[in-house]
Amino acid sequence: MTRAAEWQLALPLALAYAAFFLVPLGLLIAVSAFGDERITTLDGAQWRKFLGDPFTWKVIVDTVKLGCFTVAATALIGYPLALVYLGAGPRWQRVILFVVILPLLTSVVVRTFAWIVILGREGVINQAVLWLGLAPAPLRLLQTEQGLVIALTQIEMPIMLLPLLSVMSRMDPNLRDASAGLGASKWRTLFRVTLPLSLPGLVAGCMLVFASATTAFISQFVIGGNRLVYLPLIIWQQSLVVYNWPLASVAALTLLVSVGLGVAAIAAVGRRGRAYAV
């Protein structure tokens, strides 16, 4: 097949991207430049109003912070599980993979509402805490950042583990054996061999979790309520409740840029990590 024909094969997808991503993105940018909700005056007033408000910056920082906490939690809990997967036989690997994919088979709405039952005042965690006498009164877990991070960690775990497991399953087991054979301790093998080799999967997982957690409107709103305000809530309020589409577009673009910068930062850390390992 010639080079031109190969290029043509990608054409349908490229056209779909242009029509359904680039054009709407252009529209979003155009709408954000208008100053009034009727979309008549082109003066960029909404940008000035939004970015000039200190509350906006608090919301941006909180949104990025939520992404970072969720990435840290999923990586810390997910990586050891991936190591177990690496050491397991083929049958157990299939079992682990199935358990990892299982949550994806239920809707995120169902998983989120289930977390209300778990984190609630009369929920499983609080009943256990009270029964064990760890606290005199029920802990407040719903509508707190900690509670939301706990829930998002479970909700986002599959998208951290899937790229990680796929990279790990392609890793040559002889390399670890060679490391051990040459006298490296288990920890040294982990940090000098396994971790660097699995880094692409870990970085991909972190990027996906970051992008997904910062934009998880349903989980943020249902578990965080109105006490925790993140950018997706502002987009929803402005676009669907008060119909101020220019301001909603400004918030959407702000979210896009914040998430984009976060993902780029994770990728940069990944590249530096690999350079260090080599």
Partner 1 sequence: MSHGRSSRREFLAAAAVTLGSLAIGRPAHAKGSVTAAMYPGTWEEAFRAHVMPALKASHDIDLEMTPLFAVDQIAKAQAARGAPPFDAFVLDPGPRVTAIDRGLFEKFDARRLGNLSRLPAGMTDEWGVTVAAQVVGIGYNPKKLPKPKGWTDLLKDPWVSRLGMTGFQTTFGTVSIIEIARQFGGSETNVEPFFVEIKKVLPKVAAIGAPASMPALFQQGQCDITYTNTQTVATLRGRDVDIEFVKPESGAVAFFTTMHIAKGSRELENAYKYFDTVISAPVQSALMQPPNNFIPVNRDVKLAANLPMASLDEMAKFVRHDWSKINPLRAGWIERFNKEVAR
Residues of this chain that bind partner 1 (CB under 8 A): 55, 58, 113, 116-117, 120-123, 142-145, 221-222, 225-229, 233-234, 237-244
Burial (CB count within 10 angstroms: exposed 0-12, middle 13-18, buried 19+), residue 145: middle
Between residues 73 and 222, which has the closer beta carbon with respect to partner 1? Answer: 222
The gap from C-alpha 84 to its chain's centroid, in whole angstroms, comes to: 23
Nearer CB in complex with partner 1: 46/198 = 46
**Where would I find the H helices in the chain?**
3-9, 11-17, 23-32, 45-51, 54-87, 90-101, 108-119, 124-131, 145-169, 173-181, 186-189, 195-214, 217-224, 231-236, 245-277
Q: Which of 258, 236, 238 is nearest to 246 (CA)?
A: 238
Report, in Å, the least distance between residue 143 CB and partner 1. 6
Smaller CB separation from partner 1, 32 or 238: 238
Instruction: Give the nearest distance from C-beta 166 to partner 1 in angstroms.
Output: 35
Nearer to partner 1, 213 or 222 (CB): 222
Q: How far is the CB of 139 from partner 1 (least distance, A)?
A: 12
d(C-alpha 53, C-alpha 38), whole Å: 22
Nearer to partner 1, 8 or 127 (CB): 127
Q: Are 26 and 34 in contact (CB under 8 A)?
A: no
Least gap, CB of 145 to partner 1 (angstroms): 8
Please identify, using beta-carbon distances, which residue of 174 and 226 lies nearer to partner 1: 226
Q: For residue 45, with 0-12 CB atoms within 10 Å meaning exposed, 13-18 middle and 19 or more buried, which class applies?
A: middle
Question: If you ran DSSP here, which 8-state letter would residue 42 be given?
Answer: B
Q: Which is nearer to partner 1, 82 or 233 (CB)?
A: 233
Q: How far is the CB of 221 from partner 1 (least distance, A)?
A: 4
Q: How far is the CB of 25 from partner 1 (least distance, A)?
A: 16
CB of 120 to partner 1, least distance (A): 4
Using alpha carbons, select from 232, 231, 263, 273 the residue that is nearest to residue 51: 231
Q: Rounded distance, CA 126 to CA 150, Å?
A: 14
